[in-house]
Amino acid sequence: MAQPQSSRRPEVVLSLPFTGPWSVRNSPARRIPSHGTELFGQRYAIDFVAVDDRRRTADRRDWRTVLATEPADRFFAYGRPLLAPVDGTVVEVHDGEVDHAGRRSQLALVPYLLGQAARVRQGVRAVAGNYLIIAVGAGGPFVALAHLRAGAIRVTTGEQVTVGQHVADCGNSGNSTQPHLHLQVTESRDLSVAEGVPMAFRRFREGSRDGKQFRIREYALPAEGAVVEPLPTAAA
């Protein structure tokens, strides 16, 4: 029997953890599970990729884009500051995973995709790369930011953080084909067994996929392919 709507787990409200425009990928507004799997608490996870005013994710396209891998630092997201999306306590930090080259080339993606199952077998660190987890309360929920840049995590376990605090830089570690932020909320800090929890975002500006329409959204999930920017919270 289907569960009544009132039994649905409440959403955890976050602030967008960056400044400037970022494109939305794998939004739970499109499908659930958003990444096509329940593994590692990813049921309601969302990805963000930094873009410029032309909606490009990188500063150039050349022969490498078509035939090979590309340096991570040609992508706008690489090294961009990431901000705490909630007030809370850092309960886990993992660093030391390498930042990979970017892969937009179909030729470069083939060996990467063939290694997907092996990365899953290796567990959380191989998939999430460098990551940090913030506990919203003593018993959670827990907010995870993944694929962080190696050596650029600015907080430590046990540290109290506040919304908007610079906690890390965006990288391309773990299961990632180009620099981006993977964000998710779970009911457990142990991502190997965690279940995903729904999320919503405070006030933000959302542009349509074609860039012709814009709207202000409050306590919502951005649409797949939209470009979003955080806005100051409206005065009470």
Percentage of the chain beyond pLDDT 70 is 94
Q: Is the pLDDT assigned to residue 160 strictly greater than 60? A: yes
**What sign has the CA pseudo-torsion 142, 207, 80, 64?**
positive
Per-residue pLDDT, 114: 83
Q: pLDDT tier at 232 (50, 70, 90 boundaries)?
A: confident
pLDDT at site 210: 77
Element (H, E) at 165: none
Count how many domains the chain has.
1
Q: Which domain holds residue 139?
A: 11-230
Any domain includes 3: no
- The stretch 146-162 carries a mean pLDDT of 98
Residue 5 is predicted with a pLDDT of 41
- The enclosing domain of 47 has a CATH number of 2.70.70.10
Position 6 in a domain: no
Instruction: Give the pLDDT confidence score for residue 236 in this predicted structure.
Output: 42
- According to the model, what pLDDT value does residue 154 have? 98
- Mean pLDDT, the chain, integer: 92
The tokens 């996929």 sit on which residue?
Answer: 209
Of 209, 228, 210, 212, give the one whose Cα is nearest residue 220. Answer: 228
**Which residue, 184, 182, 231, is CA-closest to 206?**
231
Q: What is the pLDDT of residue 4?
A: 39
4 part of a folded domain = no
Residue 236 lies in a domain: no
The better pLDDT of the pair 138, 142 is held by: 142
pLDDT, average across residues 77-105: 97
Question: Around Cβ 222, how many Cβ atoms within 10 Å?
Answer: 24
Residue at 235 is within a domain? no
- Report the percentage of the chain scoring pLDDT > 90: 83
Indicate the pTM of the whole model: 0.93
36 in a structural domain = yes
Q: Has residue 108 been placed in a domain?
A: yes
Listed range (46-55, 112-121, 214-223) with the worst mean pLDDT: 112-121
Q: Which of 18, 21, 34, 8 is nearest to 224 (CA)?
A: 34
Q: Is residue 1 part of a domain?
A: no
